[in-house]
A = this chain, B = another copy of it.
Amino acid sequence: MDLSERSREILRAIIQSYISTAEPVGSRTVTKRYNLGISPATVRNIMSDLEELGFLVQPHTSAGRVPTDKAYRFYIDTMLEIKSLPRQQEEEILNYPLHRGDFHQLMQETTKLLSALSHYTGIVMAPKPAETVYRHMEFVRLTGGRVLAIFVSNAGIVHNRMIILDEDLTQKELERISAFLNHEMAGKTLREMRNRVFQLMEDDKNKYTRLLMKFMKVWQDASYEGEVEAEAELFVGGLSEMFNIPDFKDYEKMKELFLAFEEKHMLLKLLDLAMDAEGVQVYIGSENKYFEMQGISLVVATYRGEGNVIGTLGVIGPSRMPYNTVIPLVDCTARVLGRLISER
Protein backbone atom coordinates (compact mmCIF):
# COMPACT_ATOMS: atom_id res chain seq x y z
CA MET A 1 0.00 0.00 0.00
CA ASP A 2 2.01 2.94 -1.25
CA LEU A 3 0.25 5.98 0.12
CA SER A 4 2.09 9.24 0.39
CA GLU A 5 2.91 10.45 3.85
CA ARG A 6 0.31 13.16 3.47
CA SER A 7 -2.43 10.80 2.38
CA ARG A 8 -1.69 8.63 5.38
CA GLU A 9 -1.93 11.63 7.66
CA ILE A 10 -5.28 12.56 6.22
CA LEU A 11 -6.59 9.02 6.41
CA ARG A 12 -5.52 8.82 10.02
CA ALA A 13 -7.19 12.15 10.75
CA ILE A 14 -10.43 10.97 9.18
CA ILE A 15 -10.42 7.68 11.04
CA GLN A 16 -9.65 9.30 14.36
CA SER A 17 -12.28 11.92 13.82
CA TYR A 18 -14.86 9.33 12.89
CA ILE A 19 -13.96 7.15 15.84
CA SER A 20 -14.55 9.98 18.24
CA THR A 21 -17.62 11.58 16.71
CA ALA A 22 -19.41 8.88 14.68
CA GLU A 23 -20.15 11.59 12.10
CA PRO A 24 -19.04 11.40 8.49
CA VAL A 25 -15.92 13.54 8.12
CA GLY A 26 -15.81 16.42 5.65
CA SER A 27 -12.78 18.12 4.16
CA ARG A 28 -13.22 21.26 6.20
CA THR A 29 -13.38 19.30 9.43
CA VAL A 30 -10.04 17.70 8.62
CA THR A 31 -8.29 21.00 8.04
CA LYS A 32 -9.84 22.64 11.07
CA ARG A 33 -9.29 19.94 13.63
CA TYR A 34 -5.92 18.69 12.49
CA ASN A 35 -4.03 21.65 11.10
CA LEU A 36 -1.94 20.11 8.40
CA GLY A 37 -1.28 23.41 6.63
CA ILE A 38 -3.40 22.40 3.70
CA SER A 39 -6.64 23.69 2.21
CA PRO A 40 -9.98 21.90 2.16
CA ALA A 41 -9.81 21.68 -1.63
CA THR A 42 -6.56 19.75 -1.47
CA VAL A 43 -7.94 17.50 1.18
CA ARG A 44 -10.93 16.88 -1.05
CA ASN A 45 -8.70 15.76 -3.87
CA ILE A 46 -6.89 13.34 -1.63
CA MET A 47 -10.09 12.09 -0.09
CA SER A 48 -11.33 11.39 -3.56
CA ASP A 49 -8.20 9.32 -4.20
CA LEU A 50 -8.64 7.47 -0.92
CA GLU A 51 -12.20 6.68 -1.88
CA GLU A 52 -11.04 5.25 -5.18
CA LEU A 53 -8.58 3.05 -3.29
CA GLY A 54 -11.40 1.69 -1.17
CA PHE A 55 -10.50 3.34 2.13
CA LEU A 56 -13.45 5.67 2.32
CA VAL A 57 -17.09 5.76 1.32
CA GLN A 58 -19.73 8.43 1.24
CA PRO A 59 -23.11 7.61 2.77
CA HIS A 60 -24.52 10.01 0.18
CA THR A 61 -23.20 12.67 -2.15
CA SER A 62 -23.46 15.61 0.14
CA ALA A 63 -22.13 13.93 3.23
CA GLY A 64 -18.59 13.64 4.50
CA ARG A 65 -16.74 10.35 4.24
CA VAL A 66 -16.60 7.30 6.46
CA PRO A 67 -13.75 4.78 6.79
CA THR A 68 -14.25 1.29 5.33
CA ASP A 69 -13.23 -1.99 6.93
CA LYS A 70 -10.15 -1.82 4.75
CA ALA A 71 -9.28 1.55 6.26
CA TYR A 72 -9.58 0.24 9.81
CA ARG A 73 -7.45 -2.74 8.93
CA PHE A 74 -4.79 -0.45 7.45
CA TYR A 75 -5.02 1.88 10.44
CA ILE A 76 -4.59 -0.92 12.93
CA ASP A 77 -1.78 -2.63 11.03
CA THR A 78 0.33 0.36 10.14
CA MET A 79 -0.45 3.40 12.16
CA LEU A 80 -1.98 2.51 15.45
CA GLU A 81 -0.01 3.64 18.46
CA ILE A 82 -1.18 1.48 21.28
CA LYS A 83 -1.11 3.30 24.55
CA SER A 84 -0.12 1.36 27.57
CA LEU A 85 -3.10 0.89 29.79
CA PRO A 86 -3.62 3.91 32.04
CA ARG A 87 -2.63 3.22 35.62
CA GLN A 88 -6.15 3.92 36.75
CA GLN A 89 -7.77 1.37 34.45
CA GLU A 90 -5.22 -1.24 35.41
CA GLU A 91 -6.09 -0.61 39.04
CA GLU A 92 -9.73 -1.04 38.19
CA ILE A 93 -9.11 -4.40 36.58
CA LEU A 94 -6.98 -5.59 39.46
CA ASN A 95 -9.48 -4.44 42.05
CA TYR A 96 -12.50 -5.88 40.31
CA PRO A 97 -13.91 -8.61 42.55
CA LEU A 98 -13.35 -11.46 40.13
CA HIS A 99 -12.02 -13.91 42.64
CA ARG A 100 -15.27 -14.68 44.42
CA GLY A 101 -17.47 -17.64 43.65
CA ASP A 102 -17.03 -20.56 41.36
CA PHE A 103 -15.67 -20.82 37.88
CA HIS A 104 -18.91 -19.91 36.23
CA GLN A 105 -19.11 -16.73 38.20
CA LEU A 106 -15.53 -15.93 37.36
CA MET A 107 -16.35 -16.16 33.66
CA GLN A 108 -19.50 -14.12 34.03
CA GLU A 109 -17.85 -11.43 36.09
CA THR A 110 -15.06 -11.17 33.57
CA THR A 111 -17.55 -10.32 30.84
CA LYS A 112 -18.93 -7.61 33.08
CA LEU A 113 -15.48 -6.24 33.73
CA LEU A 114 -14.74 -6.11 30.01
CA SER A 115 -18.03 -4.44 29.37
CA ALA A 116 -17.75 -1.93 32.19
CA LEU A 117 -14.34 -0.72 31.11
CA SER A 118 -14.86 -0.72 27.35
CA HIS A 119 -18.51 0.32 27.37
CA TYR A 120 -19.08 -2.35 24.79
CA THR A 121 -20.22 -5.95 25.14
CA GLY A 122 -17.82 -8.36 26.82
CA ILE A 123 -17.47 -12.01 25.84
CA VAL A 124 -15.57 -14.89 27.36
CA MET A 125 -15.24 -18.37 25.95
CA ALA A 126 -14.74 -20.93 28.68
CA PRO A 127 -12.22 -23.73 28.31
CA LYS A 128 -13.53 -26.59 26.20
CA PRO A 129 -14.15 -29.82 28.07
CA ALA A 130 -12.43 -31.73 25.30
CA GLU A 131 -9.25 -29.81 25.88
CA THR A 132 -9.25 -29.27 29.60
CA VAL A 133 -6.79 -31.22 31.67
CA TYR A 134 -8.58 -32.84 34.56
CA ARG A 135 -7.01 -33.58 37.89
CA HIS A 136 -9.84 -35.50 39.41
CA MET A 137 -13.01 -37.26 38.50
CA GLU A 138 -15.82 -38.53 40.55
CA PHE A 139 -18.87 -40.66 39.93
CA VAL A 140 -21.95 -40.09 41.98
CA ARG A 141 -24.74 -42.61 41.97
CA LEU A 142 -28.17 -41.17 41.50
CA THR A 143 -31.40 -43.12 41.32
CA GLY A 144 -32.35 -45.42 38.47
CA GLY A 145 -29.00 -46.38 37.04
CA ARG A 146 -28.07 -42.81 36.50
CA VAL A 147 -24.55 -41.79 37.36
CA LEU A 148 -23.24 -38.29 37.40
CA ALA A 149 -19.68 -38.01 36.20
CA ILE A 150 -17.91 -34.96 37.57
CA PHE A 151 -14.61 -33.74 36.20
CA VAL A 152 -12.46 -31.21 38.01
CA SER A 153 -9.52 -29.44 36.47
CA ASN A 154 -6.48 -28.06 38.22
CA ALA A 155 -8.00 -24.63 37.97
CA GLY A 156 -11.18 -25.75 39.69
CA ILE A 157 -13.21 -25.87 36.52
CA VAL A 158 -16.02 -28.35 36.96
CA HIS A 159 -17.75 -30.14 34.14
CA ASN A 160 -20.30 -32.83 34.52
CA ARG A 161 -22.08 -35.39 32.41
CA MET A 162 -24.98 -37.62 33.11
CA ILE A 163 -24.32 -41.26 32.35
CA ILE A 164 -27.25 -43.62 32.16
CA LEU A 165 -26.50 -47.27 32.79
CA ASP A 166 -29.06 -50.00 32.37
CA GLU A 167 -27.74 -51.57 35.52
CA ASP A 168 -27.75 -50.09 38.98
CA LEU A 169 -24.31 -49.87 40.52
CA THR A 170 -23.69 -49.31 44.19
CA GLN A 171 -21.74 -46.28 45.26
CA LYS A 172 -19.00 -48.68 46.40
CA GLU A 173 -18.66 -50.12 42.91
CA LEU A 174 -18.60 -46.66 41.50
CA GLU A 175 -15.86 -45.72 43.88
CA ARG A 176 -13.76 -48.60 42.64
CA ILE A 177 -14.32 -47.57 39.06
CA SER A 178 -13.65 -44.02 40.05
CA ALA A 179 -10.40 -44.91 41.80
CA PHE A 180 -9.26 -46.92 38.82
CA LEU A 181 -10.16 -44.28 36.29
CA ASN A 182 -8.68 -41.50 38.35
CA HIS A 183 -5.45 -43.39 38.40
CA GLU A 184 -5.70 -44.08 34.70
CA MET A 185 -7.01 -40.75 33.49
CA ALA A 186 -5.75 -38.00 35.76
CA GLY A 187 -3.90 -35.31 33.86
CA LYS A 188 -5.71 -36.09 30.63
CA THR A 189 -8.16 -34.08 28.62
CA LEU A 190 -11.58 -35.51 27.77
CA ARG A 191 -10.37 -36.10 24.26
CA GLU A 192 -7.38 -38.05 25.52
CA MET A 193 -9.56 -39.96 27.92
CA ARG A 194 -11.78 -41.05 25.11
CA ASN A 195 -8.82 -42.42 23.24
CA ARG A 196 -7.63 -44.18 26.36
CA VAL A 197 -11.06 -45.72 26.74
CA PHE A 198 -10.78 -47.30 23.34
CA GLN A 199 -7.38 -48.61 24.30
CA LEU A 200 -8.61 -50.07 27.58
CA MET A 201 -11.53 -51.74 25.94
CA GLU A 202 -9.13 -53.85 23.92
CA ASP A 203 -7.50 -55.07 27.09
CA ASP A 204 -9.88 -57.61 28.63
CA LYS A 205 -7.45 -58.87 31.21
CA ASN A 206 -8.45 -55.86 33.22
CA LYS A 207 -9.96 -56.99 36.47
CA TYR A 208 -12.80 -54.47 36.39
CA THR A 209 -13.75 -55.56 32.95
CA ARG A 210 -17.45 -56.12 33.26
CA LEU A 211 -18.28 -52.87 34.98
CA LEU A 212 -15.76 -50.94 33.01
CA MET A 213 -17.04 -52.34 29.75
CA LYS A 214 -20.52 -51.15 30.59
CA PHE A 215 -19.22 -47.86 31.64
CA MET A 216 -17.05 -47.33 28.68
CA LYS A 217 -19.67 -48.42 26.26
CA VAL A 218 -21.86 -45.64 27.56
CA TRP A 219 -18.98 -43.24 27.54
CA GLN A 220 -18.32 -44.10 23.93
CA ASP A 221 -21.96 -43.52 23.07
CA ALA A 222 -21.87 -40.21 24.83
CA SER A 223 -18.89 -39.07 22.84
CA TYR A 224 -20.57 -40.27 19.70
CA GLU A 225 -23.43 -37.98 20.52
CA GLY A 226 -20.95 -35.18 20.56
CA GLU A 227 -20.91 -34.72 24.27
CA VAL A 228 -17.21 -34.98 24.62
CA GLU A 229 -16.66 -32.70 21.68
CA ALA A 230 -19.26 -30.33 23.03
CA GLU A 231 -18.86 -26.70 22.32
CA ALA A 232 -17.29 -24.49 24.85
CA GLU A 233 -19.58 -22.35 26.89
CA LEU A 234 -19.90 -18.72 25.89
CA PHE A 235 -20.46 -15.97 28.40
CA VAL A 236 -21.76 -12.59 27.36
CA GLY A 237 -22.03 -9.49 29.47
CA GLY A 238 -23.11 -5.92 28.96
CA LEU A 239 -25.41 -6.56 26.03
CA SER A 240 -27.35 -3.44 26.87
CA GLU A 241 -24.28 -1.32 26.16
CA MET A 242 -25.14 -1.88 22.53
CA PHE A 243 -28.08 0.43 22.97
CA ASN A 244 -25.79 3.31 23.85
CA ILE A 245 -23.83 3.14 20.62
CA PRO A 246 -25.05 5.63 18.03
CA ASP A 247 -23.95 3.30 15.22
CA PHE A 248 -26.67 0.88 16.22
CA LYS A 249 -29.49 3.34 16.76
CA ASP A 250 -31.47 1.40 14.22
CA TYR A 251 -34.12 -1.06 15.30
CA GLU A 252 -33.56 -3.53 12.49
CA LYS A 253 -29.81 -3.50 12.98
CA MET A 254 -30.30 -4.18 16.65
CA LYS A 255 -32.59 -7.07 15.95
CA GLU A 256 -30.09 -8.63 13.59
CA LEU A 257 -27.37 -8.21 16.19
CA PHE A 258 -29.31 -9.87 18.96
CA LEU A 259 -30.28 -12.76 16.75
CA ALA A 260 -26.61 -13.29 16.07
CA PHE A 261 -25.89 -13.26 19.78
CA GLU A 262 -28.48 -15.88 20.44
CA GLU A 263 -27.03 -18.10 17.78
CA LYS A 264 -23.85 -18.62 19.74
CA HIS A 265 -22.29 -21.22 17.43
CA MET A 266 -20.89 -18.70 15.03
CA LEU A 267 -19.36 -16.56 17.68
CA LEU A 268 -17.85 -19.62 19.29
CA LYS A 269 -16.32 -20.74 16.03
CA LEU A 270 -14.71 -17.39 15.63
CA LEU A 271 -13.39 -17.36 19.17
CA ASP A 272 -12.12 -20.87 18.68
CA LEU A 273 -10.26 -19.74 15.61
CA ALA A 274 -8.63 -17.02 17.65
CA MET A 275 -7.11 -19.66 19.94
CA ASP A 276 -4.51 -20.44 17.33
CA ALA A 277 -2.93 -17.02 17.25
CA GLU A 278 -0.88 -15.16 19.80
CA GLY A 279 -1.65 -11.82 21.38
CA VAL A 280 -4.61 -9.58 20.75
CA GLN A 281 -6.43 -9.92 17.46
CA VAL A 282 -8.94 -7.67 15.81
CA TYR A 283 -11.71 -8.87 13.51
CA ILE A 284 -13.22 -6.05 11.54
CA GLY A 285 -16.72 -6.24 10.09
CA SER A 286 -16.78 -8.71 7.24
CA GLU A 287 -13.27 -9.98 7.84
CA ASN A 288 -14.44 -13.15 9.44
CA LYS A 289 -16.95 -15.49 8.00
CA TYR A 290 -18.51 -16.55 11.29
CA PHE A 291 -19.73 -13.32 12.79
CA GLU A 292 -19.83 -11.20 9.69
CA MET A 293 -21.73 -8.06 10.35
CA GLN A 294 -21.65 -4.63 8.86
CA GLY A 295 -19.99 -2.17 11.20
CA ILE A 296 -19.14 -4.59 13.98
CA SER A 297 -15.70 -5.54 15.17
CA LEU A 298 -14.25 -7.85 17.76
CA VAL A 299 -11.12 -7.39 19.82
CA VAL A 300 -10.07 -10.79 21.08
CA ALA A 301 -7.24 -12.20 23.17
CA THR A 302 -6.39 -15.67 24.39
CA TYR A 303 -5.99 -16.38 28.06
CA ARG A 304 -3.88 -19.03 29.69
CA GLY A 305 -4.29 -21.39 32.57
CA GLU A 306 -1.17 -23.00 34.00
CA GLY A 307 0.81 -22.31 30.90
CA ASN A 308 -1.56 -23.40 28.15
CA VAL A 309 -3.91 -21.32 26.12
CA ILE A 310 -7.31 -22.48 27.34
CA GLY A 311 -9.78 -19.90 26.12
CA THR A 312 -10.41 -16.53 24.58
CA LEU A 313 -12.10 -13.34 25.66
CA GLY A 314 -12.78 -9.98 24.20
CA VAL A 315 -15.07 -7.19 23.34
CA ILE A 316 -17.66 -6.66 20.64
CA GLY A 317 -18.40 -3.16 19.48
CA PRO A 318 -18.65 -0.92 16.47
CA SER A 319 -15.76 -0.99 14.00
CA ARG A 320 -15.48 2.64 14.99
CA MET A 321 -13.75 1.65 18.20
CA PRO A 322 -10.89 3.39 20.03
CA TYR A 323 -8.58 0.46 19.40
CA ASN A 324 -5.65 2.11 21.07
CA THR A 325 -7.38 1.87 24.41
CA VAL A 326 -9.52 -1.22 23.90
CA ILE A 327 -6.66 -3.43 22.78
CA PRO A 328 -4.52 -2.97 25.92
CA LEU A 329 -7.65 -3.30 27.99
CA VAL A 330 -8.50 -6.68 26.53
CA ASP A 331 -4.88 -7.71 26.74
CA CYS A 332 -4.62 -6.83 30.41
CA THR A 333 -7.90 -8.52 31.28
CA ALA A 334 -6.76 -11.70 29.59
CA ARG A 335 -3.57 -11.69 31.61
CA VAL A 336 -5.37 -11.04 34.86
CA LEU A 337 -7.88 -13.79 34.20
CA GLY A 338 -5.07 -16.17 33.35
CA ARG A 339 -3.30 -15.33 36.57
CA LEU A 340 -6.47 -15.79 38.60
CA ILE A 341 -7.13 -19.17 37.04
CA SER A 342 -3.61 -20.40 37.58
CA GLU A 343 -3.43 -19.35 41.20
CA ARG A 344 -6.96 -20.27 42.07
CA gap between A158 and B161 in the complex, in Å: 10
Say if the beta carbon of A136 comes within 8 Å of chain B: yes
Give Cα A159 to B101, complex, Å: 11
Residues facing B in A149-199 (CB within 8 A) are 150, 152, 154-156, 158-162
Please state if B138 and A143 are interface contacts (CB–CB under 8 Å). Answer: no
A239, B100: Cα distance in complex, Å? 28
Majority SS of interface residues in chain A?
A: mixed
CB of A158 within 8 A of CB of B150, answer yes
Could you tell me if A258 and B243 are in contact, using CB atoms closer than 8 angstroms?
A: yes
**In the complex where A254-B254, A258-B240 touch, is A158 in contact with B154 (Cβ < 8 A)?**
no
With contact pairs A101-B227, A135-B140, A160-B102 given, residues A344 and B150 touching in the complex (Cβ less than 8 Å):
no
Is A148 engaged at the interface, CB distance under 8 Å to the other chain? yes
A1: CB under 8 A from chain B?
no
Which residues of A in the span 303-322 have a Cβ within 8 Å of any Cβ on B? none
Report whether B148 and A158 are in contact in the complex, using a CB–CB cutoff of 8 Å.
Answer: yes
A142 at the interface (CB under 8 A from B): yes
The reply to whether A255 and B227 form a contact with Cβ atoms under 8 Å apart is no
Contacts of A225 in B (CB 8 A): 100
Instruction: Give the number of residues in A that approach B within 8 Å (Cβ atoms).
Output: 41
Query: Is residue A127 contacting chain B, with contact meaning CB distance below 8 A?
Result: no
What residues on B are CB-neighbors of A138 within 8 Å? Answer: 138, 140, 150
Contact B142 A135 (CB under 8 A): yes
> Which chain B residue shows the least CB distance to A242?
B258
Please report the C-alpha to C-alpha distance between residue A238 and residue B249 in the assembled complex, in whole angstroms. 21
* Chain A positions near chain B (C-beta within 8 angstroms): 100-103, 135-136, 138, 140, 142-144, 146, 148, 150, 152, 154-156, 158-162, 225, 227, 230, 237-240, 243, 249, 251, 254-255, 258-259, 261-262, 343-344
The contact sample of 6 A-B pairs, CB cut-off 8 A, is A100-B227, A146-B344, A150-B158, A156-B160, A251-B254, A254-B254
